[in-house]
Copies of this chain bind each other. A is one copy, B any other.
């Protein structure tokens, strides 16, 4: 059996405004019905793969749980990194944890935000590396380049490479001329950041090349505590670790690396140009999604992620337009990698759209501001079956709740009542209250807040089913 380790602590900014720190691209429906994380988990579901270990951040833990449940995939473990420290410590934590329960464990390390069109071909390619991994090799998987690309790292193949060959070297982001030359020679592959190794091989590689990580990562694992379905690594000493990628910390120094060529289609979904490329059949093609109208455009992406927003492009060439309910990005297609500059600029402006969404995902469901003024706020609140909001009160606002779908169990002060669809209830300012969905389907209510302040920090929590402070 192979245990997939899915890395999904990242917070991609290059797919803003659809991907933001609060809900990054691996969890977003970028292409089709599944998110990249769900597609990654499905790609390695079922024998010979064991249930996946997911490495993620605390903010994403409920999203990970929900998206796996939605995909019908049970996790082996969800490990929570106390702080983002890049891939080196996350992978070491997964390896140490695996060795502790199974000395012979073999791990397949996978980013969660890539697209692969043929999962069966991918799995078959992984299996090619098993024999080498069993012998203590670290097996990397490289993608056959189909264009000159200066944004990726490259893996060098030896002359007369077989299905599995010793890695001849890494080339980090070459310039266009060098990339073109390497591709012409046929001896390079894109480094997809995927590799297969025994867990003890990984631990040994750290011991040899980055020994400073071993003790603190082991200590954070030893100090981990279980929290519902999650295992939270201890913040100390994790937070003091250096932020380093596995490539930089270990792989570029290791001598026991092999490489296997993956012939199938792969994309890192590394920016809007990559998303456009995934959908366009030709280089000059217009990709216009639902609610989008292209008039005399070419090589252009038009995308509306808001069901209420129509997008029209007229006379555009090499332009990418992405609209959500609260933000619009319009960028030259060749500036795909500079979309992170938008996030930087909006953070400097102090604008919420830089990192957060109108929709706020919580363990019990989600809420969304429909309108906010100085005098009132209107929210849609959707509570999952069995979902329970914390017992709370607000200093500065009263709330009117109108149940529009399903049934709510409502606590206000000492009273508990059932509020049916098309009934309303009033929560006075200062009153302790709690909202639950006792039903089998989602419960939706419209909350009208009145008062003088509507910030999320005006919540005094008395009790919480999800262990939030």
Give which listed residue, B293, B295, B329, contacts A312 with CB less than 8 A. B329
> Do the beta carbons of A314 and B342 come within 8 Å of each other?
yes
Beta-carbon contacts under 8 Å, A295-314 to B: 295-296, 302, 304, 308-314
Question: Do A404 and B424 have beta carbons less than 8 Å apart?
Answer: no
Distance of A95 from chain B, by nearest CB (Å): 40
The answer to whether A315 and B342 touch (CB under 8 A), given A378-B446, A404-B376, A446-B448, is no
CA A326 to CA B329, docked complex, whole Å: 15
Looking at chain A's contact residues, the main secondary structure is: strand
Q: Which residues of B contact A370 (CB under 8 A)?
A: 370-371, 378
Q: Are B404 and A295 in contact (CB under 8 A)?
A: no
A248 at the interface (CB under 8 A from B): no
Least CB separation from A351: chain B residue: B310
Fill in one digit per residue for A440-456: 1 if any B CB lies within 8 Å of its CB, else 0: 00001010101000000
Is B328 a contact of A328 with CB atoms below 8 Å? yes
Residues 327-371 of chain A, each 1 if its beta carbon lies under 8 Å from chain B, else 0: 111111011001101100110010101000010000000000011
Across the interface, which residues of B come within 8 angstroms of A326, CB to CB?
Answer: 308-310
Report the stretch among A163-171, A206-214, A316-324 that lies at the interface.
A316-324
A329: nearest chain-B partner, CB-CB: B312
Copies in the complex: 2
On chain A, the number of residues with a Cβ less than 8 Å from chain B's Cβ atoms is 57
Given contacts A376-B405, A448-B402, whether A330 and B334 have CB atoms under 8 Å apart is: no
Give A22 Cβ to nearest chain B Cβ, in Å: 15
Closest residue of chain B to A450 (Cβ to Cβ) is B422
Contact with B along A418-442 (1 / 0, CB 8 A): 0001101010000000000000000
A310 touches which of B309, B313, B346, B378 (Cβ 8 Å): B346
Q: Are A331 and B349 in contact (CB under 8 A)?
A: no
Does A189 reach chain B (CB closer than 8 Å)?
no
Q: In the complex, what residues of B have CB within 8 A of residue A339's CB?
A: 314
Q: A310-B327, A314-B342, A376-B446 are in contact. List 19 more A-B contacts (CB 8 A).
A: A295-B341, A295-B342, A296-B335, A309-B328, A310-B351, A312-B328, A312-B330, A312-B342, A312-B346, A315-B338, A316-B319, A370-B371, A376-B404, A378-B380, A402-B402, A402-B448, A404-B448, A422-B450, A448-B448
Show 23 residue pairs from A and B whose CB-CB distance is below 8 angstroms, ordered by the A residue: A17-B312, A293-B346, A308-B325, A309-B326, A310-B353, A311-B328, A312-B328, A312-B345, A313-B330, A314-B332, A314-B342, A315-B332, A315-B334, A315-B335, A316-B330, A316-B331, A323-B328, A370-B378, A376-B446, A400-B424, A404-B450, A421-B450, A446-B448
